[in-house]
Amino acid sequence: MKIRVVSDSSSNLFRADGFDYITVPMKILAGQTEYVDKPGISTRQMVDDLKVFKGKSGSSCPNAGEWLEAFEGADAVFAITISKNCSGSYNAAASAAREYMEENPGSKVFVVDSLTAGPGMAMIAEKLRELISQGLEFEQIKERILDYQNHTHTVFSLKSVNNLVHNGRVSHVAGKIVAALNMRVIGYAKGGKLEMAHKPRGDKKAVETILRMMEERGFYDGALVRISQCFQEEIAGVLKEQICAKYPASPVIIEPTTALCSYYAEEGGLIVGFEGAFNTENDNHLF
């Protein structure tokens, strides 16, 4: 059976070795300019352009046709989407899944609502690679990936929430407070939605707060961490050092955000995905 993993580009993972993996692009729209989140895009240029852009900007998700094209040729597909509470990507993928299975009798498609974005999605994709390599049956993989997802968590640290505010992801009141007090916002993914939790001043406090939130969610020595950073390499490195000093058996991966996550995290933002205790705030649904 040919099993393919397809993710929208919110995963920050364009390429992956050892299995059949494809991404479908999200898009950033700023006036008449469209930034397509795919290999080769200059995220630096996009971020700089948006700093001086005065009009309305936003994001758009892959349509059902784009998902369907990515499924073509596979006997079975696991599709991973950004949280359906943040985008229409899940609904588009689910529509494509129904059509694909109707047009290809015997095929199987399972759509995973990641309930997050960025590194948490990449973690799900890499776990799927591991499960597929074990030769497990489709239903076994589906069961185990949902169990794995329920032991993953996402926290984030942002210097700006302008794009989140403009696109209705964060309240205008919260955005004004952050701008007025020149502070960071630290929060977490709660049932697929963004929940603001802390507003520390300074990078040192931000790193301490992130590590404390990880520990509160059952992070343990040996658990995987993926840090996606939007032009914040130095602080991402400091966080990695502190994690490794206290939890030496834990692998820590630092990677740049691609276009979609860069748009919402904005320059200076960090998104941290990690393994931990059972995530009681997840709300998984089988498609």
Express each pLDDT in 97-121 by its tens digit. 999 999 999 999 999 999 999 999 9
pLDDT band at 161 (very low <50, low <70, confident <90, very high): confident
Please give the C-alpha separations between residue 224 and each of 81, 214, 244, 269, in angstroms, as whole numbers. Answer: 21, 12, 11, 20
Whether residues 178 and 104 fall in one domain = no
Whether residues 144 and 220 fall in one domain = no
Whether residues 107 and 72 fall in one domain = yes
How far, in Å, CA of 193 to CA of 208, rounded? 23
Domain assignment present for residue 280? The answer is no
Whether residues 211 and 174 fall in one domain = yes
Q: Find the range with the poorest average confidence among 84-93, 99-108, 198-207, 248-257.
A: 198-207
pTM equals 0.94
How far, in Å, CA of 67 to CA of 118, rounded? 19
Q: For residue 20, give both structure tokens.
A: 């059949």
Domain assignment present for residue 283? The answer is no
pLDDT band at 213 (very low <50, low <70, confident <90, very high): very high
Check whether 283 has a pLDDT greater than 90. no
pLDDT band at 286 (very low <50, low <70, confident <90, very high): very low
At 168 the pLDDT is 65
Percent pLDDT > 70 in the chain is 93
Domain assignment present for residue 166? The answer is yes
Domains held by the chain: number: 2
List 7's β-bridge partners, or say none.
23, 80
Q: Pick from 102, 98, 33: which is nearest to 263 by CA?
A: 33
Whether residues 133 and 171 fall in one domain = no
Task: Summarize the confidence of residues 140-149 as an average pLDDT.
Answer: 97
Question: What digits encode the pLDDT tens for the residues 47-75?
Answer: 999 999 999 999 999 999 999 999 999 99
Whether residues 126 and 252 fall in one domain = no
At 69 the pLDDT is 98
Name the residue with higher pLDDT: 282 or 229: 229
At 112 the pLDDT is 97
How far, in Å, CA of 70 to CA of 80, rounded? 12
Domain assignment present for residue 281? The answer is no
Question: What digits encode the pLDDT tens for the residues 81-92?
Answer: 999 999 999 999
pLDDT band at 182 (very low <50, low <70, confident <90, very high): low
At 74 the pLDDT is 98
Of the residues 106, 132, 149, which one is the last residue of a structural domain?
A: 149
How far, in Å, CA of 233 to CA of 227, rounded? 10
pLDDT band at 164 (very low <50, low <70, confident <90, very high): confident
pLDDT band at 201 (very low <50, low <70, confident <90, very high): confident
Structural domain for 245, as ranges: 152-275
pLDDT band at 176 (very low <50, low <70, confident <90, very high): low
Of the residues 149, 170, 202, which one is the last residue of a structural domain?
A: 149
Domain assignment present for residue 176? The answer is yes
Whether residues 233 and 183 fall in one domain = yes
At 130 the pLDDT is 98
Whether residues 68 and 189 fall in one domain = no
Q: Tell me how far apart the 2 most distant CA atoms of the chain are, in Å.
A: 58
Whether residues 133 and 259 fall in one domain = no
Of the residues 149, 166, 191, which one is the last residue of a structural domain?
A: 149
Check whether 163 has a pLDDT greater than 70. yes
Any idea what the CATH number is for the domain that residue 242 is in? 3.30.1180.10
Any idea what the CATH number is for the domain that residue 90 is in? 3.40.50.10170
Whether residues 200 and 126 fall in one domain = no
